[in-house]
Amino acid sequence: MSYLTSYQPPQNPYYHVDGDPHFIIQVPEKDDALCFNINEAPGTILRLIQDPVTGLTVNGQIIGDKRGSLDSKTRKTYFGKLGIANAQMDFQVEVTTEKITLWNRAMPSTFSWLDTVTVTQDGLSMMINRKKNMVVSFGDGVTFVVVLHQVWKKHPVHRDFLGFYVVDSHRMSAQTHGLLGQFFQPFDFKVSDIRPGSDPTKPDATLVVKNHQLTVTRGSQKDYRKDANIGTKVVCWFVHNNGEGLIDGVHTDYIVPNLF
């Protein structure tokens, strides 16, 4: 029965943002996933996670592709910089596609993506896997993975960028919010009326979530946790218009002035 081993859905709900900010919320109880994109100008900083109880925040800054086109519909954008902070531990780490800077009790340490190194202290663990990813764990119930995507240096369009994966969030509080954080608490949704869409390979459906009724489209995004180059295909229901109706408020509510 080999087909049973081909894909094991994650048992925890699981969330990530990667690529042209593609946000993916996998919901194991439904054996399904929801996804949305945020289209914003390069330089914009978005709040991904904010937990007022544990003091954890994660923000991400958007970069654009090399074309410099101002049309946000055609221009690809990515996360080029992430800021992960824990106010209680007096810890901040800034991750870019070039380097990783850690401030711990105000003392900065800088690492390169060419390093393989582990930093551990007082309930914090940060592990850099050369040219692949970085794993940050707080205590025994919060783990984030940052994936480094490197492209050919002379690529005419694409540039290096980062993916952000929440592997474990069970120690974060019920007050956690942000574009990803608001989904850490169980939530329900219902998909019905699956019908042909404008693209014959991608059906449309009606999604009821948070008292909203939305038209969604079947699509797929990539999960790069295991392989940063090829990735694993994740099929999801795509929510249009910057996640409107799925996220609380509107996407501009999540724009913040700086990384920390």
91: domain range? 8-255
Residue 132's pLDDT is what?
A: 94
2 in a domain, yes or no? no
Residue 139: count other Cβ atoms within 10 Å of its Cβ.
Answer: 15
User: How many domains does one find in the chain?
Assistant: 1
| Closest of 209, 175, 213, 231 to residue 34, by C-alpha | 209
53 in a domain, yes or no? yes
3 in a domain, yes or no? no
204 in a domain, yes or no? yes
pLDDT in tens, the chain (260 residues): 333 333 344 456 678 998 887 899 988 888 899 999 999 999 999 999 999 999 999 999 999 888 765 565 567 889 999 999 999 888 999 999 999 999 987 789 999 999 999 999 888 899 999 999 999 999 888 999 999 999 888 888 889 999 999 999 989 999 999 999 999 988 899 999 999 999 989 999 999 999 999 999 999 988 888 777 888 899 999 999 999 999 999 999 999 999 99
- Pairing, β 77-86 against β 133-138: unpaired
* pTM of the complete model: 0.91
1 in a domain, yes or no? no
32 in a domain, yes or no? yes
